[in-house]
Structure 1
Amino acid sequence: MNIVVAIIQLSLIILVPLFIIRNDKFILTKWFGSIGTAYLAGITLSVLIYLLNRLGVNIVPNKDVGEIGSHLAISIAIPLLLFSANLKEAKKLSKTVLKSFASLLISAVVVSSIVFYAYAYTLADGDVLSGMAIGVYTGGTPNLNAIANIFGLEQNIILSANLSDMIIGALFYVFLLLLAKPLLSRFLRNRSDENYLTEDSSIINFEEIDMRQFTLTKTLWKRVILGFGIAVLGALFGILVWILLGMEDGKMIDLLVPTMMITVTILGIVGSFNKSIRETEGMNVIGQYLILIFSFALASSIDFTQLQSIFTSTLILYGTVTVGVFILHTIISKFLNIDVDCTMITLTAGVYGPAFVPAITKQIKNDDLTAPGLIVGSIGYAVGTFLGMGLVFLYAL
Structure 2
Amino acid sequence: MNFIENPIYVLAILCLMVLLSMQAAKTKLGGKLSAALLVIVFTAVLANLSLIPSASNAIALYDGIFKYLAPLGIFYLLLEINLQSLKKAGAPMIILFLIGSLATVLGILGSWYLVSPQNVLGDKGDIIAGMLTGTYTGGSVNFNAIALEYDFQKEGALYAGTIAVDNVMTTIWIIVTLAIPALLRPLWKDKKVTLKAQKEVANASDALNLASMMWLFFLGAAAFYLSDLIKQVLPQIPFILTLSTLGIVLAQIPYIAKLSGSRSLGMYSLYLFLAVIGAYCEIDAVLELKDTGITLLLFTALAVFFHGILMIGIGGLTYRDWDMIAIVSQANVGGSTSAIAIAESLNRNELVLPAILVGTLGNALGTYLGFLVVGIL
TM-score bucket of the superposed structures, by smaller chain: 0.7 to 0.9
Residue 250 of structure 1 is matched in structure 2 by none
1:268 deviation in Å?
0.8
Query: How many residues end up aligned between the 2 structures?
Result: 368
In the alignment, the residues of structure 2 paired with residue 100 and residue 335 of structure 1 have an alpha-carbon distance, to the nearest angstrom, of 11
Q: Structure 1 residues 205 and 339 mapped into 2: Cα distance closer, same or farther (>3 Å)?
A: farther
Residue 95 of structure 2 is matched in structure 1 by 99
In the alignment, the residues of structure 1 paired with residue 247 and residue 341 of structure 2 have an alpha-carbon distance, to the nearest angstrom, of 27
Deviation string for 1:93-115 (max 9, x for gaps)? 33321331122012111111111
Q: Structure 1 residues 188 and 34 mapped into 2: Cα distance closer, same or farther (>3 Å)?
A: farther
In the alignment, the residues of structure 2 paired with residue 58 and residue 91 of structure 1 have an alpha-carbon distance, to the nearest angstrom, of 47
Quick check: 1:333 aligned with 2:315? yes
Residue 139 of structure 2 is matched in structure 1 by 140
Q: Residue 69 of structure 2 aligns to which amino acid in structure 1?
A: A
Q: Structure 1 residues 59 and 266 mapped into 2: Cα distance closer, same or farther (>3 Å)?
A: closer
Quick check: 1:220 aligned with 2:235? no
Q: Decide whether the 8 Å contact of 2:54 with 2:282 is kept in 1.
A: no
Give the gaps of 5 or more residues in structure 2.
none
Residue 277 of structure 1 is matched in structure 2 by 256
Deviation string for 1:316-336 (max 9, x for gaps)? 222221222122211221122
Q: Decide whether the 8 Å contact of 1:232 with 1:260 is kept in 2.
A: no
Kindly, what percent of the aligned residue pairs are identical? 21
Residue 357 of structure 2 is matched in structure 1 by 375
Q: Decide whether the 8 Å contact of 1:189 with 1:340 is kept in 2.
A: no
RMSD over aligned CA atoms reads: 3.0
Quick check: 1:183 aligned with 2:183? yes
In the alignment, the residues of structure 2 paired with residue 184 and residue 305 of structure 1 have an alpha-carbon distance, to the nearest angstrom, of 46
Residue 352 of structure 1 is matched in structure 2 by 334
TM-score computed with the length of structure 1 as normaliser: 0.82
Q: Decide whether the 8 Å contact of 2:48 with 2:54 is kept in 1.
A: no
1:229 deviation in Å?
3.0
1:128 deviation in Å?
1.8
Where do 1:150-189 residues align within 5 Å? Answer: 150-153=149-152, 154-156=154-156, 157-177=158-178, 179-187=179-187, 189=189
Q: Decide whether the 8 Å contact of 1:120 with 1:130 is kept in 2.
A: no
Q: Structure 1 residues 394 and 202 mapped into 2: Cα distance closer, same or farther (>3 Å)?
A: farther
In the alignment, the residues of structure 2 paired with residue 382 and residue 107 of structure 1 have an alpha-carbon distance, to the nearest angstrom, of 17
Give the gaps of 5 or more residues in structure 1.
243-254
In the alignment, the residues of structure 1 paired with residue 163 and residue 328 of structure 2 have an alpha-carbon distance, to the nearest angstrom, of 22
1:347 deviation in Å?
1.0
Residue 202 of structure 2 is matched in structure 1 by 204
Alignment partner of 2:15: what SS?
Answer: helix
Alignment partner of 1:138: what SS?
Answer: coil
1:240 deviation in Å?
5.1
In the alignment, the residues of structure 2 paired with residue 268 and residue 283 of structure 1 have an alpha-carbon distance, to the nearest angstrom, of 11
Deviation string for 1:157-179 (max 9, x for gaps)? 333322221222233334445x3
Residue 289 of structure 1 is matched in structure 2 by 268
In the alignment, the residues of structure 2 paired with residue 262 and residue 386 of structure 1 have an alpha-carbon distance, to the nearest angstrom, of 7
Where do 1:106-145 residues align within 5 Å? Answer: 106-118=102-114, 119-122=116-119, 123-124=121-122, 125-145=124-144
Alignment partner of 1:78: what SS?
Answer: helix
Where do 1:204-283 residues align within 5 Å? Answer: 204-205=202-203, 214-239=207-232, 259-283=238-262
Q: Decide whether the 8 Å contact of 2:55 with 2:281 is kept in 1.
A: no
Q: Decide whether the 8 Å contact of 1:97 with 1:196 is kept in 2.
A: no
Residue 194 of structure 2 is matched in structure 1 by 195
1:260 deviation in Å?
3.0
1:61 deviation in Å?
4.4
Alignment partner of 2:136: what SS?
Answer: helix
Deviation string for 1:5-28 (max 9, x for gaps)? 243322222332244446763455
1:76 deviation in Å?
0.9
In the alignment, the residues of structure 2 paired with residue 264 and residue 168 of structure 1 have an alpha-carbon distance, to the nearest angstrom, of 29
Q: Decide whether the 8 Å contact of 1:140 with 1:350 is kept in 2.
A: yes
Larger deviation: 61-70 or 161-170?
A: 61-70
Where do 1:293-308 residues align within 5 Å? Answer: 293-307=272-286, 308=288
Q: Decide whether the 8 Å contact of 1:108 with 1:137 is kept in 2.
A: yes
Where do 1:59-78 residues align within 5 Å? Answer: 61-78=57-74
In the alignment, the residues of structure 1 paired with residue 362 and residue 341 of structure 2 have an alpha-carbon distance, to the nearest angstrom, of 18
TM-score computed with the length of structure 2 as normaliser: 0.86
Alignment partner of 1:381: what SS?
Answer: helix
